[in-house]
Structure 1
């Protein structure tokens, strides 16, 4: 029986492990944390329950496939609930508008804001559906082991049809004129950790997922996706080692023979999969001489994606104006991304996102479980005083919108980019690894198989097909399929 060691129990590692274990491999997943799911981390503060991430679920069929491919019924593990009226957007001028998957309702809302947007909404949905279908057919299910894999004529044709040379903002301006509407749809760039003024229009396909295919919530919390994957992994015979850190890979004659653990133990392996942030894994686990294609200089050249400043606030009050997701926008969205990516500083006037999953699932927690997130640059080291001051800035801005949290606050946890860097081995604290600003980073991500060490493989948001929970899950299944088809 072939032995597989997977470093990292995120969704990519779990989905790969499930498929391989069910196919007869002896699979061990090792993770330094005491939970599975990576950034999909459950947080309990007193009587308040939170998902650290993600708070928005799309493409539920991807998660269901993990169960279906090994003969299990996903309905016995997960219950997805579609949220029709999913996001309320608020602006500094006191206006707001709701985003909904009800197309007639959305058209009515747009008609009251901007007739141009209203007239073009169907065309927008058609264009984003086209982008999604092309991506699903040609990109999502592929793996890449060498440059040759990118040379397929059909792939090249598809690539040129997904608007790689146009920015997301430019694409959206074809359909929307009102700046408030533009900000709401441009926010999709942050789902891949990037700026809408720099990332390719290709990623506007997220609009199709949110506005047509649907926004979902997983009953009991989105982290139940990770816990159900864990249950399934054990059921198909997988072995899980938590609170166990891998310190290096054992390399011999350009093959990986296993991993070395922090306690000095060694786990032998016929092949190894690195799940998680590839840039961090390479630099921490492999000597530079064993990765000539990815030396330290090249790793340092990658632009990190957005990070986050997060406050999880347990509040003993129900906010009647809240839906599941709400966004309180800055007055200058372009400046916010300039400060994050160019100035590399926390925004002076940040856009604030709040998830209140208790609006959909009130039995899950006491009161309101407010997950409050502000986009932040990667790699800032904040002092205690800076954290306190920035937290105060966010609470003060929310108060301007009539959201006064402080008098009702019972529990609170603050997460900074440095915490994300340390807790999840994230490249410079970036949530999505590499930004998608440069075309090669958006479309030519690091391979799923090491070019030099042939039995070393990769899954996770840094590799193809990219960041976000569905894509990470797909990367795990795709990599497992690559192993099954080509190696053993």
Structure 2
């Protein structure tokens, strides 16, 4: 992939009306997906990225020449990416090799037991029976219930725009029937009495930034999504998928500018007219799609006026997802005994989460998520050694911790927990390390509170209660990403691009509209 500050390619697909210009801000999965969708619909699309590299939360870090996935570690809905390539007459598998992850996850418990959540349903049932004899029969009932949630919550609603109160009223009866008012943990507990299984099947809410005891049970659809689509790792890392999407965009006429720090959106007559970057350059446009957190956009880039500032105050009071401390590290030996994913549960569960989400404090009892990509793709580790990242949920910046002091202490505690639970010789084998905390999410990824997944996925912050995919203030300003509908996680942010595409098609069904100002100037709307 071209690594200069401006990426340009010329399209082999039909002509584009040059007045139909769209600017996409941010090259995360949501930004890349919406840029490709608009490009395939005939828009002239430019993508602006703040950093010198692409991917947003899915960027790639390097330590001693070894590549690390900075964020997402697997793909659970490959059909969403297949569709993007098919729009241009290409196939995903021509550019990216998806490798199956097996088991999906290993759950490691403080009592010394473990549970492997496997790709084969019968194997998973056998694991449940091994862990908690006599309880495996409930799994198929659990799976059937998550399938109903998947059909309504993902198939029917994931790419359905929610911009009006009536949009929510239409789906409320279904949400009531599915008992979406109950928490995911409560939902899982209907089927399993064993606390270890309850943790195993409710912990996925943390993968989208939600407290399992507060997150709507509707997010049980994640389990059905994994069952239907599988859990995959792109050969070469998730960064390889980012590169493939960017190359697809460029091959067919898209332009990518890196090193573009957006400083303001210019507005006039209730619309966005352009984007200012680096304090001095201006890009005119017909529409803007932002992959940046909507609250950041409203507070930092737009003149909101009195009522807009009041609304921003409400937005600031929305429940946020947790923060993360992520430690990337190399080891001098290969740990073949470890799986691709290991979730290390602490002694407690609800207590840890309450401390993080409600008290905004750092728990002494840590739970961890260990990612060892070389278990699936051996080329992701250095010769003779291994590469990992391990993350710990922590409070976001609302906790007001001194992260400069806390980062090295938590890094040591996290590695010590790994040594005690999984890797007895870790400190003898440990190589280079690199740690990021909520400060990174705030400073590098424009998360107002350093939250890893924007706003939390509670029922009152789902669908039409999340940030709207079309701004209520500026009708040609759209949003994709974790804070918007349908939510965080790779499938969610990629699906948000489909929502925006529908809205843009509705708004521009007859081509660009024009507006004549009192001064006689005509502009496209």
TM-score bracket for the superposition, by shorter chain length: over 0.9
Aligned partner of 1:409 among 430, 452, 455? 430
- Which one is further off, 359-368 or 413-422? 359-368
Aligned to 2:336, which of 320, 323, 328? 320
Query: Is 1:363 matched with 2:384?
Result: no
CA distance in 2, matches of 1:294, 1:56: 39
Which residue does 1:26 correspond to in 2? Answer: 44
CA distance in 2, matches of 1:456, 1:442: 19
User: Aligned partners of 1:18 and 1:211: how far apart in 2?
Assistant: 27
Moved more, 473-482 or 167-176: 473-482
2:13 aligns to what?
Answer: none
Q: Does 1:292 align with 2:312?
A: no
Is 1:460 the counterpart of 2:460 in the alignment?
no
Secondary structure of the corresponding residue to residue 137 of structure 2: helix
Take 1:190 and 1:310, find their aligned partners in 2: how far apart are those partners? 14
2:408 is aligned to 388
Residue number in structure 2 paired with 1:432: 453
SS at match of 2:104: strand
Query: Which SS does the other structure have where 2:444 is aligned?
Result: helix
> Shift in Å at residue 402 of structure 1?
4.2
| Post-superposition offset of 1:411 | 1.6
Q: Secondary structure at the match of 1:427?
A: coil
Question: Partner residue of 2:31?
Answer: 13
Q: Distance in 1 between matches of 2:189 and 2:488?
A: 25
Deviation at 1:349, TM superposition (A): 0.7
- Does structure 1 residue 68 correspond to structure 2 residue 86? yes
2:222 equivalent to 1:206? yes
Assess, with a 3 A threshold, how the Cα gap between structure 1 residues 417 and 100 changes in structure 2: closer, same or farther.
Answer: same
The number of aligned residues is 486
Offset of residue 291 of structure 1: 6.8
Confirm whether residue 337 of structure 1 aligns to residue 334 of structure 2. Answer: no
Q: TM-score normalized by structure 2?
A: 0.89
Q: Contact 2:366/2:392 (CA < 8 Å) preserved in 1?
A: yes
Is the Cα–Cα contact under 8 Å of residues 328 and 351 in structure 1 kept in the other structure?
yes
**Residue 162 of structure 1: CA displacement?**
3.1
**Alpha-carbon shift at residue 427 of structure 1 (Å):** 2.7
Report the equivalent of 2:140.
122
SS in 2 for 1:112: helix
Q: Which moved more, 1:292-301 or 1:163-172?
A: 292-301
- 1:158 pairs with 2:210: no
Report the counterpart of residue 393 of structure 2 in structure 1. 375
Unaligned runs of 5+ in 2: 1-17, 512-525
CA distances 1:58-104 after superposition (whole Å, capped 9, x unpaired): 11111111111232221212221222312111111111121102111
Contact 1:434 1:441 in 2 (8 A): no
Residues 318-359 of structure 1, C-alpha deviations (whole Å, 9 max, x = no match)? 113211100111111001111101110122111111000011
- Of 221, 237, 241, which aligns to 2:257? 241
- In 2, Cα distance between the equivalents of 1:211 and 1:37? 26
Structure 1 stretches lacking a partner, 5+ long: none
- Give, in whole Å, the separation in 1 of the partners of 2:491 and 2:307: 29
Q: What is the DSSP-based 3-state SS (H/G/I as helix, E as strand, rest coil) of the residue aligned with 1:370?
A: strand
Q: Where does 1:192-271 land on structure 2 (aligned, <5 Å)? A: 192-271=208-287
Q: Is the 8 A contact 1:249 1:259 kept in 2?
A: yes
TM-score by length of structure 1 reads 0.95
Structure 2 counterpart of 1:52: 70
- Once the two structures are TM-superposed, the CA of residue 138 in structure 1 deviates from its matched residue by 2.3
Distance 1:230-1:91 versus aligned 2 partners, 3 A rule: same
CA spacing shift, 1:63–1:290, aligned 2, 3 Å: farther
Q: Is the 8 A contact 1:116 1:175 kept in 2?
A: no
Equivalent residues of 1:138, 1:158 under 8 A apart? no
Contact 1:63 1:470 in 2 (8 A): no
Alpha-carbon distance in 2 for matches of 1:218, 1:193? 23
Contact kept, 8 Å, 2:419 with 2:427, in 1: the verdict is no
Taking the aligned partners of 2:155 and 2:31, their CA distance within structure 1 comes to 23
Shift of residue 127, structure 1, vs aligned partner:
0.9
CA contact (8 A) 2:403 2:439 kept: no
155-164 or 458-467: bigger deviation: 155-164
What's the RMSD between the two structures over aligned residues?
1.8
Structure 1: 4+ residue segments shifted above 6 A: none
